[in-house]
Amino acid sequence: MANVAVVGAQWGDEGKGKVVDWLSERADVVVRFQGGHNAGHTLVINGVTYKLSLLPSGIVRGKLSIIGNGVVVDPWALLDEIARVRGQGVDISPAILKLAENAPLILPLHGDLDRLREEAAGGAKIGTTGRGIGPAYEDKVARRAIRVCDLAQPAELESKIGRLLAHHNALRKGLGAPLIDGAELLGKLIDLAPKILPFADVTWLRLDEIRRKGKRILYEGAQGALLDIDHGTYPYVTSSNTVAGNAATGSGQGPSAVGYVLGICKAYTTRVGSGPFPTELTDAIGRLIGERGHEFGTVTGRPRRCGWFDAVLVRQTCKVGGIHGLALTKLDVLDGFDELKICTAYEIDGRRYDYLPALASLQAKAKPVYETLPGWKGSTRGARSWAALPAEAVKYIRHVEELIGVPVALFSTSPEREDTVLVQDPFAD
């Protein structure tokens, strides 16, 4: 059976948590492969809401859950999340949760640097969550990161911290911030080690064994393709590769590890933070979409910017991300509109584009070219079959498929996991 990667096909917040939870019932293992605790996946199960940031969404279903080497891990945030979710009755132990021993750690100094830089940037800020994700990835690439496995060798930690602080204290001095005390940081990490190390594992080897046994693996992405460090709306992006190609690298598997890529996108478009957004609606319609969709960030609580569905961007992310099928979420939010618009191209400086150029100055000038479709008066909320949808809603979905060149594999009509219609089975060979 095919192993499946679930990735966002927009700017994140597309509903990946619900879809992964829905698919996880048929998977044996769920793997997070990039990002950090800036991600937020919300699951609603039997009326109970679970908000996850680092824990793979399969944990709530009792599935073996792996945090891969491509994730940057704030160990204190992870322990807090484990305690909170345990408090909701979920069993989380080292037998069910595995943390890659080679995953880099996010330390308090990373969050400090993130926030200091945003404050210094003023009006040019990128809009990060301030949780230290970017600085942690920088240290990883610069080969000075403290990793999970380093906690097992306290005798060597002091020198590694010294190398790390040679960089960070120079930056902090330039930003007018107090310097980090290496001995204090060492003490925190030594105290942390016995709490984190029981979850540490050679996850690449464990995943290889699982694959050889023919078990199903679900790779869970965070954020979305438009936030990818290479392929997103740079520089207003995250600090990792969010496309499905990173599912293999971020978990220690080869390219053949992923057999099917499921892209998640809303029936409209949202974005959090700064950066271009060609179809953004700043009028009453945009506010109404935001209210109906409860568009507030799971992690930050920030209101999301809302706009019409952008077929240009989703078509682009499907090509870049190798997406085989789409999961279309929040269709019910569009109930009751007289008409709906879909962006099919851009106009930039008098020229027509069928893709979003990489240059930020051109992205900022992109004007959407719209097609207008009739809305529907009936309700789609809670629909669990094609037959239960208004005819105009079916036409809307079919037109989205035509414009992006990828079939809709499933769609959902409420936050409840059962209100999901399967059209094409991602796990089928």
3-state secondary structure of 7: strand
* CB burial string 29-49: b at 16+ within 10 A, e below: bbbbbbbbbbbbbbbbbeeee
CB contact at 8 A, 39 and 11 = no
Of the listed 37, 41, 110, 168, which one is catalytic?
41
- Asked if 411 and 421 touch (Cβ cutoff 8 Å), the reply is yes
User: By three-state DSSP, how is residue 202 classified?
Assistant: coil
Angle at 225 between CA 221 and CA 231, to 5 degrees: 130
Token pair 């080292």 is found at 94
Please, what is the end-to-end C-alpha distance for the chain in angstroms? 5
Computed on alpha carbons and rounded to an integer, the radius of gyration of the chain in Å comes to: 22
Query: Which among 97, 51, 90 has a CA at the least distance from the CA of 73?
Result: 97
201 vs 67: CA distance, rounded Å: 10
Distance CA 306, CA 321 (A): 23
Residue 324: active-site member: no
Active-site residue 21, yes or no?
no
CB-neighbour burial class of residue 429 (10 A; exposed 0-12, middle 13-18, buried 19+): exposed
Output phi, psi for 329, to 5 deg. -110, 165
Active site residues: 13, 41
